[in-house]
C-alpha cells in the first residue's frame, strides 16, 4: 500500500512574489485550471484583501477538484483574531482551506513584529482556532522555521505546537530565506517528528537561494513530511520556490518515491507537464528555460556524436526517462559535435532518405563542421541544416535568385518637427525569367520604426510572385544577434525564428562580417525552408 503525498501549489501566491511577475485575474484562472487538470491537491490562489486582483480572483475563482486555499497572516498585534480586518478578508474569500503564515523564529518575533514571544504564540493559536471555528481546513506556514529551530528549538517547536493544538491540519516547515541545505532540512524535519508533530501533518516549503529547493524538499519527504509546497517552473520570491515541474516527475518516475508514494497526479496527467510549463512561460512572455529538467527543450537533446550513435540503438543509453512520459520530445541536432549517426537521424526526421553508405553523407558532415568553424551554428537552426543537406543532395529546388538588395536608414524630422528614424529596403529577385523589384519601409501599423532588418524582411516577402500564397502567413518571431569568431575574424551570427499560421516554428542562421548580410541570409533561408516544407514546385 502506497503512502499519500499531497502537492500544494503556490504559483498564484509565492509565484506572484517573483520580481517582474504580475498575473491578471484571467491568467490566474487559466493557471488554476491547468494545475487542477494536472492533479495538484491544493491551489493557493493568493492573498484576498492584499490587492484588488487577488480579491477579484477569489470572487471569480473556477470550480476545482483541488482544495482552493486563501493565504493570509496571523492576526496583528493589539487585535483579536475576530477583529482583525486582514484576517477577515482572508476568511471572507470563503475557500475550503486557509493558510496562515506566522513567525517561528524568536529573532523575527521581537525584531520584525516587535512582539513578546508569548504574544506571538497566542496570535498563532487564536488565528488558527478562529479559522477552524469558521469551518476551514487550516494550514500554518511556519515562517523562518529552520533558522528559528537552529537559534531556539524550544521556541520554534512551541510555535508549531500552538498551531497544531489549535487544530491546524498541516504544519508547514518553511525555509523562508532559502539558506538551509538538504541534509539539515532532513535532520530537523526528523527531529520535529520525534518531538511529537506527526509526519503526515507536516509540509515543507523550500526556497531556491542555494539551488537546493528540490533537494531540500526531497530530504524533508525522506524524513517523513507528507505535504510538498512548490510552484510551476520554480517561480517565487527572490530565487524562487521548489520547482513542482521537477518534483512531480521525480516523485512519479524515480525510486524510492515511485514505489513508496502516490500523489494526485496520474501518469496520464504527467504527459501534460511540458505543456503546463510552457503555458506559464507563455503567460509570462518568457523564453522557456531550455535546460529545465524534464520539460526543457534541451532536456532530451543529444548533441554529441557518441550519444546520438547510442541513442539510435537504444534511447535508454543516454536518457534517464522516456521524454514522452512528461510530454517532451527527443531531438538529435546537427553541429560540430555530431557524427554520421546525428546526420542520419536528422535527415530521417526531415523525411530525407539517404543510403547509409552514400559518400555525400561524409561531405555534408564535413561541410557542417567547416561552416560552424566560420561562425554558423546548426544545433539551434535546424531549418538551415536541412537546406544545407538538401543542397548537397541536389534536393533543393531553384526557387529564386536574389539579384541585389539595398537598405537605407534615415534620421529626419517628421511633420510634427520630431526626429524620427525610417529604414527603406529594396530587394530584386529573379524567378524564372522574370525580375521582381519590391520596396518596403520599416514602419509598423502604429507608425513606429521597426528597423532595417524588418524593412528587408518585408521587402523580400512582399512579392515573390508564384510563391506568395505559401509565405503570406509567415512572421518573424525572434531575432538573435551575436558577435562570434569565424575562423580568425569576428563575424556576426544572426538566428531568426519564424512561424506560420499553423503554429509551425523554424530557425535559420546567417553569418557575415556585416549584420545586414547575415540577417538577409537567415531571412532568405527562412523563406526557402517554408517553400520546401509546403512542397511548392519551382516556377
Ligand atoms: C514569507 C512570505 O513570503 S509571506 C507572504 C508575504 N506576502 C506579502 O507580503 C504580499 C502581500 N502583502 C501585502 O499586500 C501587504 O504587506 C499587506 C496588505 C498584507 C499588509 O500591508 P500593511 O498593513 O501596509 O503592512 P506592511 O506590509 O507595511 O507590513 C507588514 C505588517 O504585518 C506585520 N506582520 C508581518 N508578519 C506577520 C504575521 N505573521 N502576523 C501578524 N503580523 C505580521 C508586520 O509586523 C507589519 O506590521 P507593522 O506595520 O505594524 O510593523
Ligand atoms: C510562507 C512563505 O512563503 C515562506 O516562509 O517562504
Are residues 174 and 253 part of one domain?
Answer: yes
The domain in which residue 372 lies consists of 305-390
Residues with CB under 6 A from ligand 2: 14, 101, 141, 143, 174, 176, 205, 207
Asked if 142 and 104 touch (Cβ cutoff 8 Å), the reply is yes
Using H for helix, E for strand and C for coil, what is the string for 47-116? CECCEHHHHHHHHHCCCCCCEEEEEEECCCCCCCHHHCHHHHHHHHCCCCEEEEEEECCHHHHHHHHCCC
Helix (H, G, I), strand (E, B), or coil: what is residue 520? helix
Last residue within a domain, chosen from 348, 371, 390: 390
Number of domains in the chain: 3
**73 CA to centre of ligand 1 in angstroms:** 7
Are 373 and 423 in a shared domain?
no
Ligand nearest, relative to CA of residue 99: 2
Lowest mean per-residue pLDDT among 23-37, 222-236, 262-276, 495-509: 495-509
Minimum-distance ligand 2 atom for the alpha carbon of 174: 5
Note whether residue 63 is domain-resident.
yes
Most confident of 372-376, 401-405, 442-446: 401-405
Phi, psi dihedrals of residue 357, rounded to the nearest 5°: -100, 10
Is residue 487 scored above 80 in pLDDT?
Answer: no
- SS3 for 289? coil
C-alpha cell read off for 30: 487559466
The x, y and z cell numbers of residue 228, run together, are 510538498
* pLDDT-derived band at 442, boundaries 50, 70, 90: confident
202 CA from centroid of ligand 1 (Å): 24
Domain end residue (candidates: 390, 419, 447): 390
Q: Can you give the pLDDT at residue 448?
A: 80
- How many angstroms does the Cα of residue 86 sit away from the middle of ligand 1? 10
For residues 389-400, average pLDDT: 96
Q: Which atom of ligand 1 is nearest to the CA of 47?
A: 11
CATH at residue 88: 3.20.20.70
In a domain, 294, yes or no: no
Q: Is residue 437 part of a domain?
A: yes
> What is the per-residue pLDDT for 342?
87
Shared domain check, 474 and 328? no
**Which one of the ligands is nearest to 143 CA?**
2
pLDDT at 292: 97
Mean pLDDT of 117-142: 98
Cα of 445 vs centre of ligand 2, distance in Å, is: 46
Q: Which of 240, 265, 290 is the last residue before a domain boundary? A: 265
Q: What is the 8-class DSSP label of residue 314?
A: -
CA dihedral 156, 161, 167, 173 (to 10 degrees): 30
CA of 220 to the centre of ligand 1 (A): 27
Peptide bond between residue 256 and the one before it cis (omega within 30 degrees of 0)? yes
pLDDT score recorded for residue 4: 98
Verify whether ligand 1 is closer than 6 Å to residue 428 (CB atom).
no
Q: Which atom of ligand 1 is nearest to the CA of 237?
A: 3
Same domain, 386 and 339: yes
pLDDT one-digit tens code per residue, 143-171: 999 999 999 999 999 999 999 999 999 99
Task: Scan for cell 534541451, then name that residue.
Answer: 298
Closest CA to 118 of 175, 77, 71: 77
Mean pLDDT of 38-49: 98
148 Cα to the center of ligand 1, angstroms: 19
Q: Tell whether ligand 1 has an atom less than 6 A from the beta carbon of residue 176.
A: yes
Shortest-distance atom of ligand 2 to CA 101: 1
Instruction: For residues 221 and 185, state if they share a domain.
Output: yes
**288 in any annotated domain:** no
Verify that 157 and 256 share a domain, yes or no. yes
Residue 270 located in a structural domain: no
Query: What DSSP state is assigned to residue 18?
Result: S
Ligand 1 center from residue 280 Cα (angstroms): 27
> Measured from the CB, is residue 50 less than 6 Å from ligand 1?
yes
- Give residue 169 CA to ligand 1 midpoint distance, Å: 23
CB 360, CB 381: distance < 8 Å? no
DSSP-derived secondary structure letter, 486: E
Distance CA 297, CA 277 (A): 11
Angle 42-30-239 (CA atoms, 0-180°, nearest 5)? 65
Band the pLDDT of 391: cuts 50, 70, 90.
very high
Is 538 within a domain? no
- Cα atoms in the Cβ-side hemisphere of radius 13 Å centred on 250: 14
177 within domain boundaries? yes
Q: Distance between CA atoms of 115 and 141, rounded to whole angstroms?
A: 18
Stated pTM of the model: 0.84
Considering the domain architecture, whether residues 386 and 408 belong to the same structural domain is answered as no
Widest pairwise Cα distance in the chain: 91
pLDDT digits (tens, 9 = 90+) for 255-279: 999 999 999 999 999 999 999 999 9
To the nearest 10 degrees (0 to 180), the angle between helices 515-533 and 382-392 is: 70
pLDDT at 117: 98
Residue 436's φ and ψ, nearest 5 degrees, are -125, 135
- Considering the domain architecture, whether residues 482 and 360 belong to the same structural domain is answered as no
Atom 3 of ligand 2, residue of closest alpha carbon: 14
β pairing state of 170-175 and 67-73: unpaired
Spell out where 347-441 has E strands. Answer: 401-413, 419-431, 434-441
Residues 183 and 104 in one domain: yes
Q: Is the CB of 84 under 6 A from ligand 1?
A: no
pLDDT for 450 equals 86
Nearest residue (CA) to ligand 1, atom 12: 50
Residue 131 pLDDT greater than 90, yes or no: yes
- CATH at residue 410: 3.30.160.270
Shared domain for 85 and 234, answered yes or no, is yes
Q: What is the mean pLDDT of the chain?
A: 95
Q: Confirm whether 395 is domain-assigned.
A: no
Q: How many Cβ atoms are within 10 Å of 401's Cβ, its own excluded? A: 11
Report yes or no: 125 and 166 within 8 Å, Cβ to Cβ.
yes
Q: Which long-range contacts (CB under 8 A, 24 or more apart) does 364-371 make?
A: 364/388, 364/389, 364/392, 364/393, 365/338, 365/339, 365/340, 367/392, 368/334, 368/335, 368/336, 368/338, 368/343, 369/336, 371/511
Best residue among 160, 205, 209 to mutate for probing ligand 2's pocket (most ligand atoms within 8 Å of CB) is 205
Q: 181 CA distance to ligand 1 centroid (A)?
A: 27
Beta carbons within 8 Å of 143's beta carbon, 6+ residues apart: 101, 102, 103, 104, 105, 108, 174, 176
CA of 72 to the centre of ligand 1 (A): 9
Query: Among the atoms of ligand 2, which is closest to the Cα of residue 71?
Result: 1
Q: Is the CB of 112 under 6 A from ligand 1?
A: yes
Within this chain, do residues 229 and 138 fall inside the same structural domain, yes or no? yes
All three cell numbers of 260, joined, read 513508496
| Backbone φ/ψ region at 415: left (φ over 0), alpha (ψ -120 to 50), beta | alpha
3-state SS assignment for residue 200: helix
Separation in Å, CA 260 to CA 2, 21, 222, 256? 5, 36, 11, 6
Do residue 248 and residue 169 come from a single domain?
A: yes
Host H or E run for residue 267: helix 267-270
Amino acid at each position: 500500500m502506497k503512502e499519500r503525498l499531497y502537492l500544494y501549489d503556490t504559483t498564484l501566491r509565492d509565484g506572484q512574489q517573483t520580481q517582474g511577475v504580475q498575473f491578471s485575474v484571467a491568467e490566474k484562472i487559466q493557471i488554476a485550471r491547468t494545475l487542477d487538470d494536472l492533479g495538484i491537491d491544493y491551489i493557493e490562489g493568493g492573498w484576498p484583501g492584499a490587492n484588488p486582483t487577488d480579491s477579484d480572483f477569489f470572487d471569480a475563482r473556477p470550480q476545482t477538484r483541488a482544495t482552493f486555499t486563501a493565504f493570509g497572516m496571523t492576526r496583528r498585534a493589539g487585535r483579536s483574531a475576530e477583529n482583525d480586518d486582514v484576517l477577515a478578508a482572508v476568511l471572507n474569500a470563503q475557500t475550503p482551506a486557509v493558510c496562515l503564515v506566522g513567525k517561528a523564529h524568536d529573532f523575527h518575533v521581537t525584531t520584525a513584529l516587535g512582539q513578546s514571544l508569548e504574544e506571538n504564540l497566542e496570535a498563532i493559536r487564536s488565528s488558527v482556532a478562529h479559522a477552524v471555528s469558521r469551518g476551514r481546513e487550516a494550514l500554518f506556514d511556519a515562517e523562518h522555521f529552520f533558522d528559528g529551530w537552529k537559534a531556539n528549538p524550544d521556541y520554534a517547536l512551541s510555535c508549531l505546537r500552538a498551531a497544531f493544538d489549535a487544530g491546524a491540519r498541516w504544519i508547514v516547515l518553511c525555509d523562508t530565506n532559502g539558506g538551509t541545505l538538504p541534509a539539515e532540512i532532513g535532520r530537523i524535519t526528523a527531529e520535529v517528528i520525534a518531538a511529537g508533530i506527526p509526519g503526515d501533518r507536516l509540509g515543507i516549503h523550500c526556497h531556491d537561494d542555494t539551488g537546493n529547493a528540490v533537494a531540500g524538499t526531497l530530504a524533508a519527504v525522506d524524513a517523513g513530511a507528507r505535504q510538498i509546497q512548490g510552484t510551476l517552473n520554480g517561480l517565487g520570491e527572490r530565487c524562487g520556490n521548489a520547482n513542482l515541474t521537477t518534483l512531480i516527475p521525480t516523485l512519479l518516475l524515480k525510486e524510492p518515491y515511485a514505489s513508496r508514494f502516490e500523489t494526485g497526479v496520474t501518469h496520464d496527467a504527467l504527459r501534460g507537464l511540458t505543456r503546463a510549463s510552457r503555458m506559464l512561460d507563455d503567460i509570462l512572455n518568457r523564453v522557456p528555460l531550455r535546460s529545465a529538467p524534464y520539460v526543457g527543450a534541451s532536456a532530451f537533446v543529444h548533441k554529441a556524436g557518441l550519444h546520438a550513435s547510442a541513442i539510435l540503438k537504444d534511447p535508454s543509453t543516454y536518457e534517464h526517462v522516456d521524454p514522452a512520459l512528461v510530454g517532451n520530445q527527443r531531438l538529435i541536432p546537427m553541429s560540430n559535435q555530431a557524427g554520421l549517426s546525428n546526420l542520419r537521424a536528422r535527415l530521417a526526421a526531415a523525411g530525407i532518405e539517404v543510403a547509409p553508405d552514400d559518400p555525400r553523407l561524409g561531405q555534408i558532415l564535413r561541410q557542417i563542421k567547416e561552416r560552424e568553424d566560420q561562425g554558423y551554428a546548426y544545433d539551434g537552426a535546424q531549418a538551415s541544416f536541412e537546406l544545407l543537406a538538401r543542397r548537397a543532395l541536389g534536393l533543393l529546388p531553384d526557387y529564386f535568385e536574389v539579384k541585389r538588395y539595398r537598405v537605407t536608414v534615415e534620421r529626419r524630422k517628421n511633420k510634427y518637427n520630431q526626429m524620427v528614424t525610417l529604414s527603406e529596403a529594396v530587394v530584386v529577385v529573379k524567378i524564372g525569367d522574370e525580375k521582381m523589384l519590391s520596396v518596403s519601409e520599416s514602419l509598423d501599423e502604429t507608425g513606429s520604426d521597426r528597423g532595417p532588418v524588418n524593412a528587408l524582411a518585408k521587402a523580400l516577402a512582399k512579392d515573390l510572385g508564384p510563391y506568395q500564397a505559401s509565405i503570406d502567413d509567415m512572421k518573424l518571431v525572434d531575432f538573435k544577434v551575436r558577435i562570434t569568431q569565424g575562423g580568425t575574424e569576428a563575424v556576426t551570427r544572426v538566428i531568426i525564428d519564424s512561424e506560420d499560421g499553423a503554429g509551425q516554428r523554424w530557425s535559420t542562421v546567417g553569418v557575415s562580417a556585416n549584420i545586414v548580410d547575415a540577417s538577409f541570409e537567415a531571412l532568405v533561408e527562412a523563406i526557402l525552408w517554408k517553400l520546401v516544407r509546403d512542397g511548392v514546385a519551382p516556377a
